[in-house]
Amino acid sequence: MTVLAGPKISPQAHSENFERIRVKRYSASLGAIIEGADLSQDLDDATIAEIRQALLDHLVIFFRGQDFSPEQQLAFARRFGTLNQHDQVKGLDAYPDIIEVRKEPDDERNFGGAWHGDVTYLSEPPLGSILYALEVPEVGGDTLWSNCYLAFETLSSGMRAMLDGMTMIHTPAKIYGALSQDWSKDSSVKSAPNATAHYETEHPLIRTHPETGRKCLYVSGAFTPRFKDMTEEESAPLIDFLMDQCTREPFTCRWRWEKGDVAFWDNRCTLHYALNDYSGHRRVMHRVTVNGDRPF
């Protein structure tokens, strides 16, 4: 029997050339804390460029102690692209581009409580999302992110060759369609199961990041039920393996929220998971999502 060596994981490479912000690495595989930027202000182009570089280097970046009005969060997000209005989840009445991610003390389910990328079923899925913590439990409600570059790069050459050229089917159906659970029980998602949420989109399984040129695995939990020209049953073993590969502990980081924290993640090369372990407590976040481009 041939025994393959386990993956060697080194801390991710990153740029040292920041003048406007301070970038402190958060875990070996991804994540950095950014200091020196008040996101409620109209930041100059050089600072925004450094924040963008930090996002590309670290995949998810965290800012502490921010004080954002909805307008300020939207203005910050617009510096990175046009904004995405969720096609299945209603935004705030006054700010349709902001999703309120709210879990009340007696809600059972939370929003985002499984590994996924945001709305990957769109033909042009988001560049990233910016999540702002307004109210958090004393403990619990952490969010995890994973590095899907590492997930791809640590596969064997034989596996990478086998996956090359495969196409994934992405769809909102299992989360937002008629097959989804009863959303009306919870405050986390303000929409009923939607009969129109059954469309499908094709994206490459191995995606090349449009800015870094690096390749990553592009699977997205319940948004990716099968491969093109294959049944769900046939696809399941390989999808399960790929999701496990994407979310292996050494490829992840976990953020413990405090009120005023902001997380900005690159949705093109990460997955994330909002833990649902704070029953009896409220958690309220505002999410703004920046549009991206068609995966290749």
Active site amino acids: 116, 118, 272, 287
The set of residues, in sequence order, having a beta carbon less than 8 Å from that of 134 and lying 6+ positions away, is: 259, 284, 285, 286
Which is nearer to ligand SIN, 77 or 285 (by Cβ)? 285
Which is nearer to ligand SIN, 73 or 143 (by Cβ)? 143
- Residue 283 identity: R
- From 287, 288, 290, 295, residue interacting with ligand SIN (rule: CB under 6 A): 287
Q: How far is it, in rounded angstroms, from Cα 255 to Cα 14?
A: 20
Angle at 23 between CA 22 and CA 28, to 5 degrees: 160
Question: Is 120 a binder of ligand SIN (CB under 6 A)?
Answer: no
Question: Is 247 a binder of ligand SIN (CB under 6 A)?
Answer: no
Which is nearer to ligand SIN, 116 or 209 (by Cβ)? 116
Which is nearer to ligand SIN, 215 or 221 (by Cβ)? 221
What HEC string does 225-273 produce?
CEECCCCHHHHHHHHHHHHHHHCCHHHEEEECCCCCCEEEEECCCEEEE
Provide the 10 A C-beta neighbour count for residue 181. Answer: 12
Residues present in the chain in total = 296
Closest-CB residue for ligand SIN?
Answer: 112
Structure tokens at 166: 């495969």
Question: Is 101 a binder of ligand SIN (CB under 6 A)?
Answer: yes
Nearest CA among 97, 98, 24, 18 for reference residue 61: 24
Structure tokens at 235: 């696809």
Question: Is 112 a binder of ligand SIN (CB under 6 A)?
Answer: yes
Min dist. Cβ of residue 221 to ligand SIN (A) = 10
Which range touches ligand SIN (CB under 6 A), out of 28-36, 51-59, 110-118, 177-185?
Answer: 110-118
- From 29, 66, 84, 143, residue interacting with ligand SIN (rule: CB under 6 A): 143
Decide if 78 contacts 253 (C-beta within 8 A): no
Which is nearer to ligand SIN, 129 or 201 (by Cβ)? 129
- From 23, 43, 242, 274, residue interacting with ligand SIN (rule: CB under 6 A): 274
Min dist. Cβ of residue 156 to ligand SIN (A) = 31
H-type alpha helices, 3-139: 45-58, 70-78
Total interface residues for ligand SIN by CB under 6 A? 11
Question: Is 43 a binder of ligand SIN (CB under 6 A)?
Answer: no
Min dist. Cβ of residue 229 to ligand SIN (A) = 30
Q: How far is it, in rounded angstroms, from Cα 242 to Cα 217?
A: 8
Which range touches ligand SIN (CB under 6 A), out of 111-119, 173-181, 210-218, 229-237?
Answer: 111-119
Which residues of the shown chain bind ligand SIN in the complex (CB under 6 A)? 101, 111-112, 118, 129, 131, 143, 272, 274, 285, 287
